[in-house]
């Protein structure tokens, strides 16, 4: 993070760095006390009516250690980093005046006296992303500070209420927090500081062992920070960027739905009979009824399910290369479009980290694999014996034909029934002019086992679709109620 020495002179043209980084840190009250530092030293009364050289802060790299920030009195609202006369904001106002600062300082000192940690998170936002979402005009160097502040107000609720085992505050007035926008580095930085006011006594919020036993928990889980970053991005996206995201996600979902719904009829047919029988034989019988993909992805190669998972993955590769090729290619193509968006928003993936499209592909394969395993488990062992018989008889018939010299794949059909027939592509030596319903005169292409599995599978898909539809309908009703409530509240406030 480089200091520019200017206001809102953000770097542009960066394509491989994240749209927003969110480093988190905290300081314990005992550490601050030991150094004679006060939480309230972070803020000072606004004195920005005249711009003056802030000599004490000229050399500051913006994202400095929180412990060092206390030694820079008024670090949060220093003149060299802000443009507003009253730049500090909180949950109730976008610009704190001197009276508000007095109350804020008092609450911060109370939090420290009661032994609570102070937390800081800093949103570092890339200039290109600000421009793309109409938050920054490079020529005038104007930024939409109000929209940025509103976004942080919303995200603060997530971090404060979901960042710990329990909500940080024991009631809505038990947390003190404030934020500020800094504009003097090559990325725009938004800071958020917060602390619990009253003394922490809840066991769930205190360290129960180790060197810091009895002290408040300080670390916020990474998944909560990632959730906050996603929420922050969504709050700040322009309507056209949101539409672009939604259209791609809608496309991915549409292709996935089509693949899932057509999988039973395309997978459970004579072409894949041998592969499915091999999968069934590879499934550990002592785990019957509990057959599930054994790890994060099918090809992990670990555990009792490894062989079946590997064979199932090969079967899906074959399915996606032939029967469902257009749908699968559409699914992958649109998912990869979303990868490009994620690189714009989050930066280049770390080595070994799966892309969004790769995760979605694994999820699709797991879903199809688990559906197949589930319904194979409902079939009695003897029910699949017809597959062995079919395969044996089919291979025997092929050998007889070869011995008799019947290998010409261009043989003219001798009856109207034969004209309607299609070949079996998984055996090279099968004559293409044999009936679809029978191979030889005795082998049924689709046995009772496959019919039963397909029927059960389709029933499950219908049930899942209906459940999703009910959930979405419920969500729409909830959103409608919220909108009506907000409208009613606004009308009351006007009166």
Pick left, alpha or beta for residue 214 (phi over 0 → left; psi -120 to 50 → alpha; otherwise beta).
Answer: left
Reduce the DSSP state of residue 180 to 3 states and report it. strand
Q: Please give the pLDDT value at position 331.
A: 95
pLDDT at 444: 35
Provide the angle, in degrees to the nearest 10, between the axes of the packed helices 239-267 and 306-321: 100
What interhelical angle do 448-494 and 239-267 show, nearest 10?
A: 160
Under 8 Å between Cβ of 338 and 249: yes
User: For 247, phi and psi rounded to 5 degrees?
Assistant: -65, -40
If phi > 0 it is left, if psi is from -120 to 50 it is alpha, else beta; for residue 8 that is left
Strand 443-444 and strand 175-182: pairing? unpaired
Instruction: Show contacts of 134-143: CB within 8 Å, 24+ apart.
Output: 134/238, 135/236, 136/8, 136/10, 136/188, 138/10, 138/12, 141/7, 141/8, 141/9, 142/8, 143/8, 143/181, 143/183, 143/188
Q: Where are the domains of the chain?
A: 20-235, 243-410+449-462
What DSSP character marks residue 45? -
Global pTM reads 0.63
Orientation angle between helical segments 239-267 and 325-346, nearest 10 degrees: 150
- From the CB of residue 5, how many other CB atoms can be counted at a distance below 10 Å? 10
| Residue of 57, 164, 55 whose CA lies nearest to 117 | 164
Give the tens place of pLDDT for each residue, 214-260.
999 999 998 999 899 889 988 998 888 888 889 999 999 999 999 99
DSSP code of residue 430: S
Q: How far apart are CA 93 and CA 365, in angstroms?
A: 49
How far is 315 from 309, CA to CA, in rounded Å? 10
* 206 within 8 A of 217, measured Cβ to Cβ: yes
Structure confidence by residue, pLDDT tens digits, 281-323: 999 988 888 898 866 678 877 788 999 999 999 999 999 999 9
pLDDT averaged per 10 residues in sequence order, the chain, 495 residues: 76 73 86 92 73 42 75 86 93 94 96 96 89 92 95 94 95 95 90 96 93 91 90 90 90 93 84 89 89 79 87 95 95 91 65 80 93 80 51 46 43 35 34 35 43 65 62 54 48 44
| Residue 378 to residue 457: CA distance in whole angstroms | 11
Evaluate whether the domain defined by 20-235 bears CATH number 2.10.25. no
Q: Phi/psi of residue 191, each to 5°? A: -105, 150
Q: Phi-psi bin for 370: left (phi > 0), alpha (psi -120 to 50), beta?
A: alpha
β-strand partners of 25:
120
């Amino acid at each position: 993070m480089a200091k520019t020495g200017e206001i809102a002179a953000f770097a542009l043209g960066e394509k491989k760095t994240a749209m927003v980084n969110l480093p988190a840190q905290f300081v314990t009250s005992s550490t601050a006390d030991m150094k004679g530092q006060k939480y309230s030293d972070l803020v000072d009364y606004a004195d920005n009516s005249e711009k003056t050289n802030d000599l004490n802060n000229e050399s500051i790299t913006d994202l400095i250690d929180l412990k060092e920030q206390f030694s820079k009195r008024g670090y949060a609202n220093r003149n060299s980093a802000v443009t507003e006369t009253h730049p500090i904001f909180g949950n109730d106002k976008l610009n704190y005046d001197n009276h508000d600062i007095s109350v804020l300082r008092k609450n911060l000192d109370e939090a420290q006296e009661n032994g609570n940690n102070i937390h800081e998170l800093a949103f570092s936002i890339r200039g290109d992303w600000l421009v793309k979402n109409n938050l920054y005009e490079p020529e005038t160097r104007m930024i939409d500070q109000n929209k940025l502040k509103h976004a942080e107000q919303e995200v603060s609720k997530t971090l404060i209420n979901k960042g710990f085992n329990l909500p940080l505050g024991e009631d809505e007035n038990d947390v003190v927090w404030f934020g500020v926008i800094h504009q003097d580095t090559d990325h725009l930085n938004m800071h958020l500081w917060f602390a619990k006011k009253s003394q922490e006594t809840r066991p769930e919020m205190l360290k129960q062992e180790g060197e810091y036993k009895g002290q408040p928990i300080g670390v916020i889980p990474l998944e909560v920070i990632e959730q906050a970053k996603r929420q922050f991005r969504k709050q700040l996206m322009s309507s056209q960027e949101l539409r672009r995201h939604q259209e791609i996600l809608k496309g991915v979902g549409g292709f996935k739905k089509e693949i899932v719904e057509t999988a039973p009829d395309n997978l459970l047919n004579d072409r894949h009979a041998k592969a499915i029988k091999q999968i069934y034989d590879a499934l550990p019988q002592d785990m019957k009824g509990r057959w599930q993909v054994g790890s994060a992805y099918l090809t992990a190669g670990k555990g009792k399910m490894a062989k079946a998972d590997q064979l199932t993955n090969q079967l899906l590769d074959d399915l996606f290369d032939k029967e469902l090729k257009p749908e699968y290619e559409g699914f992958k193509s649109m998912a990869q479009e979303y990868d490009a968006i994620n690189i714009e928003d989050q930066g280049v993936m770390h080595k070994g980290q799966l892309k969004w499209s790769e995760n979605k592909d694994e999820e699709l394969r797991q879903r199809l694999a688990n559906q197949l395993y589930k319904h194979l488990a409902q079939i009695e062992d003897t029910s699949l014996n017809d597959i062995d018989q079919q395969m044996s008889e089919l291979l025997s018939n092929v050998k007889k034909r070869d011995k008799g010299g019947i290998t010409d794949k261009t043989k003219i059909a001798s009856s109207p029934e034969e004209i309607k027939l299609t070949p079996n592509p998984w055996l090279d030596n099968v004559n293409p002019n044999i009936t679809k319903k029978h191979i030889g005169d005795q082998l049924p292409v689709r046995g009772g086992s496959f019919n039963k599995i397909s029927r059960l599978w389709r029933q499950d898909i219908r049930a899942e679709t209906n459940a999703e539809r009910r959930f979405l309908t419920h969500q729409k009703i909830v959103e409608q109620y919220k909108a009506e409530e907000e409208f009613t509240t606004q009308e009351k406030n006007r009166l």
